[in-house]
Amino acid sequence: MKHRVAFIFLSLSFLCVVPGITLGVVGTEFDTTSELNDGEKSPIKTPFALQLKPFSKGSMETIKSQRKGSAFIVVLWSVDCPPCYEELEMWRRVKASYPALDVVLISTDAMALNDEVRRVVEKMGVAMLEHWQFADAFVEPLRYEIDPGWSGELPRTYFYSATGEYVGRSGIIKQDKIEAWIE
């Protein structure tokens, strides 16, 4: 717990210097042009308020049924996962290169960390993606619903084909692997 508090404190102190981010106001453009970890400036402005949907029993089936017949990607991440930040930055770049790509982000963080999840999403420039956040403190059934073989390691990415078949991968996914899957 000591590490978690320190990480959140450092994250908050790093993020609070970001000017121009106002959350929860519909119709406002959020300026996400702050410098990212890779030194690149994020060119993405999102003309909408970030919506974090609660991920509870049945949510994975909802995600899949809304995309029946289409390929898509599901990415699981957490504010406590440093490699996840690197991957979120990569998803920003991939989405900029492939605007039609359907990517769903699911934060495995407790709802108590909702504000921190929002700040990270805005900071990483991925607010344009669909977002869900675990809404149940008992996470094992939620993980099982996503994938009975998944034990919770992060980041975790699922590549769904248009036929509904999927492949799950743990760890950071390289951008060239995603581009090969797209093509």
Q: Where are the domains of the chain?
A: 2-182
Tell me what pLDDT residue 24 has: 32
The full DSSP string for the chain is: -HHHHHHHHHHHHHHTT-TT---S-TTPPEE--SB-TTSPBP--EE-S---EEEE-TTHHHHHHHHTTTS-EEEEEE-TT-HHHHHHHHHHHHHHHH-TT--EEEEE-S-GGGHHHHHHHHHHHT-TTSEEEEE--S--HHHHHHH-TT--S-SSEEEEE-TTS-EEEEESPPPHHHHHHHH-
What pLDDT, in 10s, does the model give residues 122-167?
999 999 999 999 999 899 999 999 999 999 999 999 999 999 999 9
* pTM above threshold 0.85: no
Please name the fold of domain 2-182: Glutaredoxin (3.40.30)
